[in-house]
Amino acid sequence: MDAPIAVGAEAVVTVSEFLGRKAAVKTRVPKRYRHGELDRRIRAARTRNEVRVMQGARSDTVRTPVVYDVEMSGCSITMEFIEGVRVKDLLDADPSSSKEVCPLIGEALADMHNRGIAHGDFTTSNMILMPDGRLCIIDFSLGSINVGTEEMGVDIRLLQRAFSSAHSAVEGGFEAVMGSYVEKKTDAGTVLGKVEEIKNRARYT
Ligand SMILES: Nc1ncnc2c1ncn2[C@@H]1O[C@H](COP(=O)(O)OP(=O)(O)OP(=O)(O)O)[C@@H](O)[C@H]1O
Ligand SMILES: [Mg+2]
> Could you say which architecture CATH assigns to the domain 4-80?
2-Layer Sandwich (3.30)
- 94 has catalytic annotation: no
pLDDT tens digits, 17-52: 999 999 999 999 998 887 888 999 999 999 999 999
Strands (E), 47-140: 67-71, 76-80, 85-86, 127-129, 135-137
Residue whose CA is at the smallest distance from ligand 1 atom 12: 6
**Residue in 138, 142, 158 to alter for ligand 1 test, most ligand atoms within 8 A of Cβ:** 138
CATH 3.20.20.70 fits 85-204, yes or no: no
Does 127 sit in the ligand 1 pocket, CB within 6 Å? Answer: no
Domain ranges (residues) in the chain: 4-80, 85-204
- What dihedral do alpha carbons 105, 82, 25, 3 form, nearest 10°? -120
Residue whose CA is at the smallest distance from ligand 1 atom 22: 8
User: Ligand nearest 51 Cα, by number?
Assistant: 1
Task: Write the CA distances from 42 to 39, 56, 77, 201, integer angstroms.
Answer: 5, 21, 15, 30
Where residue 93 falls among pLDDT bands split at 50, 70, 90? very high
Active-site annotation holder among 39, 89, 121, 187: 121
- What dihedral do alpha carbons 161, 87, 151, 197 form, nearest 10°? 20
pTM of the shown model:
0.94
Answer whether residue 87 shows pLDDT above 70. yes
CA of 123 to the centre of ligand 2 (A): 8
CA of 136 to the centre of ligand 2 (A): 13
